[in-house]
Amino acid sequence: MNRRTKASLPTEVREPLLAKAIDDRSPSDLENNLKTLIRSTKDRLIANILINTPIRLFHLKDGVASALLVTLLWAISIYLIAAALNKVVNTSAGVFTPLAALASIIAAASLGVVKILHDEILPPNLDNLVAWPYDESGLAALHNWFESLLSMKKQLLTSCLLAVFAVVTLNIVERNTSAKFEIGTYLSVFSAMFSVGHGLYCAVKIPTLAKAATKQRMNLYWLDPANTPILKIASSAFAKLSIADGAIATLCIVALYWFRPWESLLVATISAFWLVAGLVAVTYSFVYPYHYITRGIKDDKRRQMSHLQSIIAPFRSRLDQLNEHDYKKLDELLKLYDRIATAKDSTLDIPALSRFFTSLVVPTLSFVIGLIDWKKLLNLP
């Protein structure tokens, strides 16, 4: 809000209603510490470490192109290691293993998605993010949240658990269908699900930022909180997160084709479990943050409306004594009240919803297609 608009408001409305403007706030130690902590994400998230390290090593310019190049190198490296291991253990192993190749792509893609989303969302919006909290208690809450997000112990635990679970799944599939997997395939699947596990960690943890931020009072545009820049940025970020989750889930579902789920009810059930897990992750990463953002917007609207009501209430007891200036002032207050009351309660829009439903439909269709025994259906040898 510009200073001209600020000056035109009634005096008793102006200061209590206006959140602190960004340009009026002098940096505090908490703000500076939070900025430093957010900048450290480039060196404390597993995906960023694994991609930024080669970028620095090869003196590449940090950007999407370099991230994609390093991602490709990771995919090739994982596959070549898996193929070499296959040959060492079994000299008759095939030159090309489709599942190992796809797993290598999934491993690298999962890392790349986290890295690219991080770079597109956090660094460019650092100042907006730090200006989100209304006071120091909000800054402290965000600082604690980022410290929790960057816990290496939590990141590694999530990634390793999912990777081990995937390897166990692969072994169950091998014992219950005609599918056979080389040792290198196990390695590539472990690598893939380790990376997916890191993506899952981010997909589960990042939406909780909305809860951490909205538990404290937010620094929002008081006339229309939903149009506050940081909320629009957060809404877009969470929508991108759900799309990324859907894309990785689709790749994982496609990989299930090599499980031959049509050969065993147990394997089909396991495949269905992975699908449900993916859909739950996509749904959670979209619905959870929108719920808390909407609740925060409504709380802020109620706060502003309650304050306006306290200003309007005294006019009622002296309606017959109001002069022209008083009536004009009351009319302005009522218009302000109506404007706040009719402002949007949510940042949710049709494009975001369409992207969300696409993120659900694509992996589901991939699963259905994977259940079909195409060789039998098409009478192929």
Report pLDDT digits (tens) over 241-275. Answer: 888 888 888 888 887 777 777 778 888 888 888 88
Judged against a pLDDT cut of 50, whether residue 2 lies above it is answered with: no
8 Å CB contact between 313 and 251: no
Distant-in-sequence, close-in-space partners of 332: CB < 8 Å, separation ≥ 6: 10
Span of 9-23, 51-65, 125-139 with lowest mean pLDDT = 9-23
pLDDT at residue 96, rounded to an integer: 72
pLDDT at residue 115, rounded to an integer: 95
Judged against a pLDDT cut of 60, whether residue 12 lies above it is answered with: no
Domain ranges within the chain, ordered by starting residue:
16-377
Alpha-carbon gap, residue 217 to 139, rounded angstroms:
10
* Mean pLDDT score of the chain: 85
pLDDT at residue 20, rounded to an integer: 41
Alpha-carbon gap, residue 206 to 228, rounded angstroms:
20
Report pLDDT digits (tens) over 33-58. Answer: 999 999 999 999 999 999 999 999 99
Report pLDDT digits (tens) over 88-104. Answer: 887 666 667 888 889 99
Alpha-carbon gap, residue 2 to 128, rounded angstroms:
17
190-208 burial code (b ≥16 CB/10 A, e <16): bbbbbbbbbbbbbbebbbe
130-149 burial code (b ≥16 CB/10 A, e <16): bbbbbeeebbebbbebbeeb
Report pLDDT digits (tens) over 133-168. Answer: 988 899 999 999 999 999 999 999 999 999 999 999
Q: Mean pLDDT, to the nearest integer, of 227-248?
A: 87
pTM above 0.85, yes or no: no
Q: Mean pLDDT, to the nearest integer, of 66-84?
A: 94
Between the alpha carbon of residue 49 and those of residues 67, 114, 146, 150, 152, the distances in Å are: 12, 11, 17, 12, 11
